[in-house]
């Protein structure tokens, strides 16, 4: 049985960014800078998406002189469909959470403990302690 999990907010952000121009090859570093996601989070996301067939990967054909070739990423057709589905699910989940929070806030009541009959609800200071002589 295959286990499916909801994508993280960072994964959804990566998918949304790649969906803006799905045919364009993107560098992982550029995605990090654009989204403010650390490389230690970004590259595992990109590798997972590529392993699942949602991203196409390629090495840079003509790297800058003196620099190693960089890895490039772009969405596959399956990746575009998954990105649309994940964005719709995220929007539905966010709307449901907002509605639940609004309902809980609107229906919340404050419970106040009342004193027993005959006892004043006003708190008074305790009576002073008697002083011991010679102390």
| pLDDT, block means (10 residues), the chain with 135 residues | 76 92 91 94 94 93 88 92 82 66 61 66 72 73
| Per-residue model confidence (pLDDT) at position 109 | 58
| Per-residue model confidence (pLDDT) at position 120 | 65
| Per-residue model confidence (pLDDT) at position 59 | 93
Fold of 9-94: Arc Repressor Mutant, subunit A (1.10.10)
Contact residues for 24 (Cβ-Cβ < 8 A; gap 6+): 74
Give the three-state DSSP class for 73. Answer: strand
Q: Where are the domains of the chain?
A: 9-94
Tokens, residue 79: 């990746």
Spatial distance between the Cα atoms of 69 and 63, rounded to a whole number of angstroms? 5
Spatial distance between the Cα atoms of 57 and 73, rounded to a whole number of angstroms? 5
Model pTM? 0.63
Give me the phi and psi of 131, to 5 degrees please. -85, 135
Give the N- to C-terminal CA distance of the chain in Å, as an integer.
Answer: 79
């Amino acid at each position: 049985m295959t286990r499916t999990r909801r994508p993280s907010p960072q994964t959804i952000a990566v998918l949304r960014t790649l969906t803006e121009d799905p045919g364009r090859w993107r560098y992982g570093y550029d995605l990090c800078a654009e989204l403010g996601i650390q490389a230690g989070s970004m590259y595992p996301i990109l590798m997972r998406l590529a392993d699942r067939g949602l991203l196409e990967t390629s090495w840079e054909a003509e790297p800058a002189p003196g620099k190693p070739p960089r890895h490039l990423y772009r969405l596959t057709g399956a990746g575009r469909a998954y990105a649309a589905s994940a964005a719709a699910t995220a929007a539905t989940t966010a709307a449901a959470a907002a509605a639940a929070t609004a309902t809980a806030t609107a229906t919340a009541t404050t419970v106040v403990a009342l004193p027993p009959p005959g006892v004043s609800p006003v708190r008074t200071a305790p009576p002073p302690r008697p002083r011991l002589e010679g102390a």
